[in-house]
């Protein structure tokens, strides 16, 4: 995406920061469900929600060594939240997180585009009535 030709809202949606934030939201939601079914210990999701922060540079530094984006992300979160965070991603694949995130970003972007289309239609209706 070329920033100077893009809407700020769309650039924000497709940023690394937002992508990783959504990854974290997906992992937390999955952890909450796994806790409910006693697949992982209770309290993992709340601990990660409280202590897990997105540190893009740290994730990239880890990825340069491990050559895997999701492992780098999970390692970064575990560094912050402690050993209990190792239960994140249990039973999941990278695609579970990546595909879910892509769909969330598409919905976020689509909502912005739809609002823009609504504004255009409103202007066209007003202009058309005056002619």
Domain boundaries, the chain: 3-130
- Asked if 90 and 39 touch (Cβ cutoff 8 Å), the reply is yes
Measured from the Cβ of residue 105, the count of other Cβ atoms closer than 10 Å reads 17
User: What pLDDT, in 10s, does the model give residues 62-108?
Assistant: 999 999 999 999 999 999 999 999 999 999 999 999 999 999 999 99
Residue 1 has pLDDT above 80, yes or no: no
Spatial distance between the Cα atoms of 89 and 128, rounded to a whole number of angstroms: 54
Amino acid 127: pLDDT: 87
Note the CATH architecture for domain 3-130: Orthogonal Bundle (1.10)
Spatial distance between the Cα atoms of 75 and 83, rounded to a whole number of angstroms: 10
Amino acid 50: pLDDT: 97
> Which residue bears the tokens 């974290």?
24
User: What pLDDT, in 10s, does the model give residues 16-47?
Assistant: 999 999 999 999 999 999 999 999 999 999 99
pTM: 0.90
> Could you give the 3-state DSSP secondary structure of residue 15?
coil
Amino acid 4: pLDDT: 85
DSSP3 helix / strand / coil % (the chain, rounded to 5): 80, 0, 20
Burial class (CB in 10 A: 0-12, 13-18, 19+), 117: exposed
Residue 53 has pLDDT above 70, yes or no: yes
DSSP state letters, 78-120 = HHHH-GGGGGTTTT--HHHHHHHHHHHHHHHHHHHHHHHHHHH
> Which residue bears the tokens 């492992």?
71
């Amino acid at each position: 995406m070329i920033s100077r030709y893009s809407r700020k809202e769309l650039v924000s949606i497709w940023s690394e920061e937002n992508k990783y934030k959504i990854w974290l939201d997906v992992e937390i939601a999955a952890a909450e469900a796994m806790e409910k079914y006693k697949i992982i210990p209770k309290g993992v999701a709340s601990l990660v929600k409280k202590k897990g922060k997105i540190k893009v540079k740290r994730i990239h530094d880890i990825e340069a060594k491990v050559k895997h984006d999701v492992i780098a992300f999970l390692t970064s979160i575990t560094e912050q939240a402690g050993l209990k965070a190792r239960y994140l991603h249990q039973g999941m694949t990278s695609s579970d997180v990546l595909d879910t995130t892509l769909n969330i970003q598409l919905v976020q972007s689509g909502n912005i585009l739809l609002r823009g289309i609504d504004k255009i239609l409103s202007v066209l209706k007003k202009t058309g009535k005056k002619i």
